[in-house]
């Protein structure tokens, strides 16, 4: 199973990107994570360009389409989804009936340096992905105090659980 891993943070030392790298280390046999690094190149969504999207947007849509599943690690900005990540999803959601995320298995996880591990951003992200028609796995991994916890065993267990939930969500589609 090929999993596209998307970090909602652009910062080079991002805890969420690090969380995805940790997820790659914990991936069970047969699950391969590919870290997507195109977020910074995505321009602001403009409906005028929807039918002929910029190259970076098309590349993003293709990357999602070509993946069996998607794993998103999101930080939380002002109690919600980072603008850049939401913007990329808004591009990918169009046109709604045939969008790249439609029926795509997705797991959402998140990290923050505070205590709560981006739980609100994760909840909003699940809502957005559900509306887009994604197959959102019923799993939550909120890694608080991320700067000191990425190697903790409970975080590693959480990552394995998130990937297993993703594989379980994806399974019938792969079998078919």
Q: Which residues lie near other proteins (CB under 8 A)? A: 96-97, 102-103, 130-136, 172-173
* d(C-alpha 11, C-alpha 150), whole Å: 17
- Is 50 strand, coil or helix? coil
Q: Least CB distance from residue 130 to other proteins, whole Å?
A: 5
Q: Least CB distance from residue 68 to other proteins, whole Å?
A: 14
Q: Least CB distance from residue 100 to other proteins, whole Å?
A: 13
The residue among 97 and 115 lying less far from other proteins, judged by its C-beta, is: 97
The residue among 34 and 90 lying less far from other proteins, judged by its C-beta, is: 90
* d(C-alpha 137, C-alpha 107), whole Å: 5
| Distance from the first to the final alpha carbon of the chain | 13
Q: Least CB distance from residue 144 to other proteins, whole Å?
A: 26
The residue among 157 and 174 lying less far from other proteins, judged by its C-beta, is: 174
Other CB atoms within 10 A of residue 55 CB: 9
Locus of tokens 């959480």:
158
């Amino acid at each position: 199973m090929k999993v596209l891993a998307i970090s909602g943070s652009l910062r080079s030392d991002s805890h969420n990107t690090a969380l995805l790298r940790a997820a790659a280390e914990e991936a069970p046999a047969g699950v391969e994570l590919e870290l997507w690094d195109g977020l910074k190149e995505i321009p602001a969504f403009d409906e005028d360009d929807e039918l002929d999207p910029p190259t970076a947007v098309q590349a993003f849509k293709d990357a999602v389409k070509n993946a069996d599943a998607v794993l998103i690690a999101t930080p939380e900005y002002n109690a919600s989804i980072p603008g850049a990540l939401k913007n990329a999803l808004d591009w990918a959601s169009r046109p709604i009936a045939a969008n790249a995320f439609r029926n795509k298995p997705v797991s959402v996880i998140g990290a923050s340096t505070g205590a709560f591990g981006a739980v609100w951003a994760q909840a909003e992200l699940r809502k957005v992905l559900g509306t887009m028609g994604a197959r959102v796995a019923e799993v939550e991994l909120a890694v608080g105090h991320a700067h000191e916890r990425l190697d903790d065993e409970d975080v590693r267990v959480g990552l394995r659980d998130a990937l297993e939930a993703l594989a379980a969500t994806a399974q019938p589609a792969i079998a078919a």
